[in-house]
Amino acid sequence: MRLKDNVAIITGAAQGIGRATALKFAAEGAIVIACDLDPTAVAAVATECRDIGPRSEAYAVDVTSRDSTDTLVEMVRQKYGRIDTLVNNAGITRDARLQKMTQQQFDDVINVNLRAVFNFSQAVVDGMVAAGGGAILNASSVVGIYGNYGQTNYSASKFGVIGFTKTWSRELGPKGIRVNAVAPGFVETPMIATVPEEVLEKMRSQVPLRRLGRPEEVANLYAFLASDEASYINGAVIEVSGGLVV
């Protein structure tokens, strides 16, 4: 098991890539701390994790609340003594063209996709420094590298996550903490469940592999980056896109 007894906080764990990541970490022997705004859904994921791994707990957390973040991190630290891995996976979309985007749409996405990454990372980092190591893994997107029509807020948040990753890898690398980002392309998650089939077909046609990604394929990368096998990978932004932007 690559992550035996690794204490891992995973945000946005109730569905999609977050759920797949929680299950993958559990299968690799991690102690999974599954977090999401939906208490019922995240509890179900924690139960699934316990069926295949050593230990898992579910916490209903509003990632935009610094008080909630700090409380959760302190609870985990008190119980397990440390936090080895943080997966900043939680994210939302509120799409609109620049001329139509509301202030609320912009703020909602920035708060969840960017501010929460800062809050969680700052909350865990002192403990990681004291322990002499750890891994912070951030969810970016190919949209955060190349931009996308109608996603001013989402693109900005995911560009920002890359900035965090590059900066923190320099600041924290000397302290034994690796910081990396994962940039998925089109992945079959609830976020695109309402997309019409003709649009999905167009999306598939843009990918050289001619299909959408599976959440498990992103989760596999997170598990690798959290493990000792990735011990010399720091400050990377790795695309999981099937060659979308080749």
For 69, residues 6+ apart whose C-beta sits below 8 A from its C-beta are: 61, 63, 116, 119, 120, 123
Amino acid letter for position 10? I
For 64, residues 6+ apart whose C-beta sits below 8 A from its C-beta are: 111, 112, 115, 116, 119
The CA–CA distances, whole Å, from 21 to 48, 161, 233 equal: 12, 19, 19
The owner of tokens 């909602």 is 108
Amino acid letter for position 168? W
Segments in the chain forming alpha helices (H):
16-27, 39-52, 66-80, 103-110, 116-131, 143-146, 152-172, 197-206, 215-226
Amino acid letter for position 114? L
Rounded-to-integer distance, Cα 37 and Cα 60, Å: 5
DSSP character at residue 228: G
Instruction: Please report how many Cα atoms fall inside a 13 Å half-sphere around the Cα of residue 149, on the Cβ side.
Output: 0
* SS3 at position 180: strand
**Residues acting as catalytic residues:** 154
